[in-house]
Structure 1
Amino acid sequence: MSSWRELFVKKAHDWGLMGNFGINKTMGIVEEQFYWPKIHKDIFRICGQCVECQRTKSHLLPHGLYTPLTTPQRPWLDISMDFILGLPRTKRGRGSIFVVVDRFTMMAHFIPCHKFDDAPNVASLFVEHVAKLHGIPQTIVSDKDPNHQQTNGQTEVVNRTLGSMLCAVVHGKLASWEKHFPLVEFAYNRVIQRTIGMSPFEAVYGFNPLTTLDLTPLSQDVVLSLDGSKRAEAMKKLH
């Protein structure tokens, strides 16, 4: 295996923005730009040598069974919400994470907050970080709602992924987790999700943003040449 190939795979796997996602998602990142013989074998070997990934993923438990919710029809109409509590307090005094997930595209927003934020403060955080970007949802499911505890497995899966990402980027400095959040959220929303076959970002906006791994800009002809009606039809087909 030539040195440039190995270097690129390691960068795609270890780069902070990609959050040490593992074999499948690293493969998706590399295959967006490159191909060479035995590419899957090379990626599998390099990812398998990552000690940090094995350490963080070894603590994850299997997901339980959940009763499925109705299927959403378009982005950000139906969302799931949850809180991750008990984290090391940051310099800003925050020790919790408010997690909001679009059930249609899997796009997520990770919002640092205080442990004892009351309902008005949570509502303010929702407006500041979610509603201003996506509008008001039609339905909300929360793991804190006793009527839906067995149905909302989606946020639990996202929480597990977020936990692995944070373990990979804080490097032992546990109270520094908040400063990594903008890049962690970008990384989560940028990589391909197996359940939808594309990244959450692409599912919402119709294209993927560039990252530092993009050595040269990809052609944007399709995005730039579509008129309004064609653009709308393309997004409808994508959804």
Structure 2
Amino acid sequence: MYSDLPLVYWWNGMKKDIAKFVAKCPICQQVGIDHQKSGGLSRDIMILTWKWEDLNMNFILGLPCTNRQHDSIWVIVDRMKKLAHFIRVKVSYFVKDYAKLYLRDIVRLHGVPLSIIIDRCPYQILRGIGMVAYELDFPNDLASVHPFFTSPS
């Protein structure tokens, strides 16, 4: 605030008067830059290059059953274009069932992605690879889908 005023106004002791005013003003205290927490260290943001190469996956659970007994929705979102597939599923599905659906509805249309982020992952975390990357223990059933899913020995 002080840096803007001397362009238009000036008086003796102006900086001290402005500091007193700002210290007493409740609105100035709430929105002042000096009182905001730092955002922390910045991270490099990966620039996405092509659609359907980087995906997010999640589930919507607890829905009423349809005629075919589907009670959940598997949401698969392209991180670049924010386009999504909503696939009807059952809570009782096994990994093999999800793999078949994935091949039929995603890989057939868009190819194999470079990365997949899954919010709710019931698999074991083996080790951290970086600040936000982990090696997961996938079931050996998924090895037939993609070599990425092979479990380490």
Scaled by the length of structure 2, the TM-score of the pair is 0.49
Instruction: Name the structure where strand makes up a greater proportion of residues.
Output: 2
Higher relative CO (Cα under 8 Å, sequence separation at least 6) belongs to 1
Instruction: Name the structure where helix makes up a greater proportion of residues.
Output: 1
Scaled by the length of structure 1, the TM-score of the pair is 0.32
> Which structure is larger by alpha-carbon Rg, 1 or 2?
2
